[in-house]
């Protein structure tokens, strides 16, 4: 049969394999590109992985095993939310480009709106959801690359 593992389960699996989730889903670009044009960046839907609604990642830095940083724009449709919480090694920083989200870190809820920013240690359990009526977008960076 087929299985749809959750994102937390995938994090544990790739941690045991000493790689990251991008390795499982994306082709490696051997060209060490510097510029990634709007409309040409990879877009990954997480619905099947997170069993959530309306979440996609727009890759700002395409997957490469040598990258120290991971950077995506998280697009969350109205009522979309990540399955969570997840935790892993590292640090994360984000900036809300549009919309309103609730970020839950270590059991504490934070309502964020356009222009708000955040930073936290990735070892703390974390997840998020769109609390607005329109699509929300977050510019999200973490190190080391985990997805």
* pLDDT over 70 at 95, yes or no: yes
What percent of the chain is predicted at pLDDT more than 90? 47
Q: Average of pLDDT values for 97-105? A: 98
Q: Which pLDDT belongs to residue 121? A: 98
> 27 to each of 16, 21, 22, 24, 65, how far by Cα in Å?
21, 12, 8, 9, 11
**Nearest of 51, 102, 107, 99 to residue 73 by alpha carbon:** 99
Q: Which pLDDT belongs to residue 12? A: 60
Q: Which pLDDT belongs to residue 83? A: 80
* pLDDT over 70 at 5, yes or no: no
Which domains does the chain possess? 7-143 (2.60.120.10)
Confidence bin at 24 (pLDDT 50/70/90): very low
pTM: 0.77
Q: Looking at per-residue confidence, does 78 or 146 come out higher?
A: 78
25 close to 13: Cβ distance less than 8 angstroms: no
Q: pLDDT (tens digit, 9 = 90+) per residue, 36-83? A: 888 888 888 876 444 456 899 999 988 777 788 999 999 999 989 988
139: which strand partners? 73, 95
Q: Average of pLDDT values for 104-121? A: 98
Look at the chain and count its residues: 147
Helix (H, G, I), strand (E, B) or coil at 93: strand
């Amino acid at each position: 049969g087929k299985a749809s593992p959750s994102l937390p389960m995938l994090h544990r699996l790739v941690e045991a394999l000493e790689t990251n989730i991008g390795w499982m889903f994306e082709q490696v670009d051997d060209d060490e590109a510097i510029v990634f044009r709007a409309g040409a960046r990879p877009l990954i839907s997480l619905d099947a992985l997170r069993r959530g609604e309306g979440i996609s990642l727009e890759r700002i830095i395409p997957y490469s095993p040598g990258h120290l940083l991971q950077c995506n724009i998280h697009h969350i449709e109205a009522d979309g939310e990540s399955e969570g919480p997840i935790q892993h090694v590292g640090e994360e920083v984000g900036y809300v480009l549009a919309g309103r989200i609730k970020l839950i870190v270590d059991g504490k809820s934070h309502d964020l709106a356009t222009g708000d920013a955040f930073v936290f240690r990735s070892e703390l359990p974390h997840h998020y959801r769109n609390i607005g009526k329109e699509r929300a977008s977050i510019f999200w960076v973490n190190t080391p690359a985990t997805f």
